């Protein structure tokens, strides 16, 4: 359906528009300078303090030669310095590119070559991996290092102390909404992820639509995230969106585990939790869940992978808090289809976010009939300009206002969208397309199954059939009896041809750096096996 007034969901941004001002400085004008913006362990930082240090960062970047629209590579754990760096880059008119601080030297070398970053902002703990990549980079690169040992590079505190927040170098770059602001990397399971190029207006558009009109961020919120800030999902939900309304953000640099989440909730009493299905499951399976006080929570978000109905029901029964499951992408910056507060439809990803329009199309790009599966096309005011340095892939994905995804969906008569999987993950079994997610959700409803990934494997007749890799709950044995019970369970709930022909028992399933099950890794592993 056409929406001629689609973009009227957001008032036009002014000719001079910079995200540092939109997210950060506005809080000072609105009287929140003394309010705590960031908490990290025993550390706190007010909005005024973050703003003052972002000005120093902007001055330091300009002094280092960073010009408007040049990339700055941020490779930091979740610390207050991440926010200082992120806002400082924008203030200087630069373009942020954020990378996981747990990668290897070879990967950092690839990112440096791809981004051509003049400055890297990183941390002492990352230096053993990133230091050699910086020193051997083809283009000269400076590094600002947060932490106790700068390893011969520029110490963060010294860099900031050398600058004045009132100097000309610290002034806000007079960018506009269509100027470049940031690169968001796809989750690329093979090779170097592609960078989706976004403008200042892209990030603000989704904030005005999804964050304010669906998720419902409030000034009184205290926000906590399972995903880390380098991941666009968390950059939105645990930095941009809270800052837009003057809320408080809780950060922690370590790995997100169920124990860590329980500790953070007990200490900081968050109201807004950004999570993923794997962590929701881990928390519910933890022995600490029975005694945990989760009463501070009012909103829980989930994205990144399918949320099984069983997990939603268990979480809701335990916390009385809805999970707003949704889907977004680096190509669109953030969530564009979501369940709404008070309107959660189990098994679906909800309805379209205001300011966006979706179509479900066949391989030739023609809209399919209601209820039929097809690839999702999406448009709205946050569509990326392109994939950097990949013209062919950009043409495949971006057609004018539209972004054609690789995600397969169905839409029902009420406008709710159900995710079927990626188009290259679907299985053709007995001549009929089968969604691995459908089988996985049925298996997850069985008490034996903690985690599962279903992929396709050829049988002796070279016909594709479902193959289930399963992590069992404690007390269950990975044997033929359990496999037969799970087969019967699936057959009783789905068409008979959909049941897994094989089961493989695993202690854990591989995850990518976003915390999702690495389906392509498992598919490649099975494909490499003889026979």
pLDDT in tens, 135-163: 999 998 999 999 999 999 999 999 999 99
Q: What is the arithmetic mean of pLDDT over 444-455?
A: 92
The reported pLDDT for the residue numbered 190 is 46
Q: Which of 2-11, 37-46, 306-315, 372-381 has the lowest mean pLDDT?
A: 2-11
What tokens does 105 get? 């030297």
Shortest CA distance to 469 belongs to which of 431, 488, 443, 492?
443
- According to DSSP, the residues that pair with 449 across neighbouring strands are 472
Percent of the chain with pLDDT over 70: 96
pLDDT of 431 reads: 57
Residue 166 pLDDT exceeds 80: yes
Write the class of the CATH domain 425-527.
alpha beta
Q: What was the pLDDT predicted at 425?
A: 75
20-175 against 425-527: fold identical: no
Tokens of 350: 């909800």
Burial of 157 (0-12, 13-18, 19+ CB in 10 A): middle
- Residue 87, pLDDT > 80, answer yes
Query: 20-175 is classed in which CATH architecture?
Result: 3-Layer(aba) Sandwich (3.40)
53: left (phi over 0), alpha (psi -120 to 50) or beta: alpha
Where in the chain are the domains? Answer: 20-175, 425-527
Tell me the whole-structure pTM to 2 decimals. Answer: 0.85
Model confidence at 1, pLDDT cuts 50, 70, 90, reads very low
* Higher pLDDT, residue 184 or 462: 184
91/98 Cα distance (integer angstroms): 16
Q: How far is CA 182 from CA 71, 74, 126, 490, in A?
A: 8, 11, 22, 45
Token pair listed for 349? 């990803």
Per-residue pLDDT band at 428 (split at 50, 70, 90): low
SS3 of 30, please? coil
pLDDT tier at 531, thresholds 50, 70, 90: low
**Average pLDDT value for residue range 430-451:** 83
φ and ψ at residue 12, rounded to 5 degrees? -55, 140
- Round to whole Å and give the CA distance between 224 and 40: 11
Separation CA 447–CA 273 (nearest Å):
26
Sign of torsion over alpha carbons 436, 364, 303, 181: positive
Q: What angle do CA 41, 146, 32 make, to 5 degrees?
A: 55
Q: Chain centroid to CA 151: how far?
A: 31
Check residue 2 and give its pLDDT: 40
The model's pLDDT over 479-506, given as tens digits with 9 standing for 90+, comes to: 999 999 999 999 998 877 789 999 999 9
Among 311, 255, 310, smallest CA distance to 283 is for 311
Residue 511 binned pLDDT confidence (cut-offs 50, 70, 90): confident
Mean pLDDT of the chain: 93
């Amino acid at each position: 359906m056409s929406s001629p007034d689609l973009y009227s969901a957001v008032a036009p941004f002014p000719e001079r528009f910079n995200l540092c001002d939109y997210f950060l400085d506005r809080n000072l004008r609105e009287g929140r300078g003394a309010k705590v913006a960031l908490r990290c362990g025993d550390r706190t930082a007010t909005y005024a303090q973050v703003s003052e240090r972002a000005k120093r960062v902007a001055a330091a970047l300009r002094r280092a030669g960073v010009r408007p629209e040049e990339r700055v590579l941020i490779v930091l754990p979740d610390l207050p310095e991440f926010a200082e760096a992120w806002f400082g880059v924008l203030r200087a008119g630069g373009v942020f590119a954020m990378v996981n601080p747990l990668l290897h030297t070879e990967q950092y070398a690839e990112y440096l070559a791809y981004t051509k970053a003049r400055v890297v902002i990183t941390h002492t703990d990352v230096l053993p991996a990133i230091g050699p990549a910086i020193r051997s980079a083809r283009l000269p690169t400076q590094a600002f290092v947060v932490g106790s040992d700068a390893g011969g590079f520029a110490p963060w505190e010294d860099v900031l102390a050398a600058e004045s927040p009132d100097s000309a170098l610290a002034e806000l770059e007079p960018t506009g909404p269509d100027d470049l602001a940031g690169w968001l990397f796809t989750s690329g399971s093979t090779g170097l992820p592609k960078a989706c190029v976004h403008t200042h207006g892209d990030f603000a558009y989704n904030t005005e639509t999804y964050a304010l009109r669906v998720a419902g961020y409030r000034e009184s919120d205290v926000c906590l995230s399972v995903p880390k800030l380098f991941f666009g999902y968390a950059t939105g939900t645990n930095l941009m969106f809270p800052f837009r309304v003057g809320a408080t953000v809780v950060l922690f640099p370590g790995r997100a585990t169920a124990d860590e989440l329980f500790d953070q909730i007990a200490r900081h009493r968050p109201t807004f939790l950004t999570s993923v299905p794997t962590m929701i499951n881990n928390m519910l399976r933890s022995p600490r869940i029975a005694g945990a006080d989760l009463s501070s929570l009012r909103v829980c978000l989930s994205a990144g992978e399918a949320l099984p109905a069983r997990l939603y029901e268990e979480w809701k029964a335990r916390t009385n808090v809805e999970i707003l499951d949704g889907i977004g992408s680096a190509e669109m910056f953030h969530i564009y289809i979501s369940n709404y507060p008070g309107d959660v439809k189990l098994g679906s990803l909800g309805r379209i976010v205001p300011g966006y329009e979706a179509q479900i199309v066949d391989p030739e790009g023609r809209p399919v009939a209601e209820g039929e599966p097809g690839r999702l096309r999406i448009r709205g005011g946050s569509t990326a300009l392109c994939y950097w340095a990949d013209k062919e892939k950009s043409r495949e994905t971006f057609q004018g206002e539209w972004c054609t995804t690789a995600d397969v969906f169905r839409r029902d008569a009420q406008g709710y969208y159900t995710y079927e999987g990626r188009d290259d993950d679907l299985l053709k079994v007995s001549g009929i397309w089968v969604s691995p997610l459908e089988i996985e959700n049925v298996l997850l409803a069985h008490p034996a199954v903690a985690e599962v990934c279903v992929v396709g494997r050829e049988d002796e007749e070279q016909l594709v059939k479902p193959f289930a890799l399963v992590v069992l709950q404690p007390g269950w044995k990975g044997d033929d009896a359990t496999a037969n019970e799970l087969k019967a369970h699936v057959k009783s709930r789905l068409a008979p041809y959909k049941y897994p022909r094989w089961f493989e028992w695993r202690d854990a399933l591989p995850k990518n750096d976003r915390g999702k099950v690495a389906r392509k890794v498992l598919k490649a592993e099975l494909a490499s096996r003889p026979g």
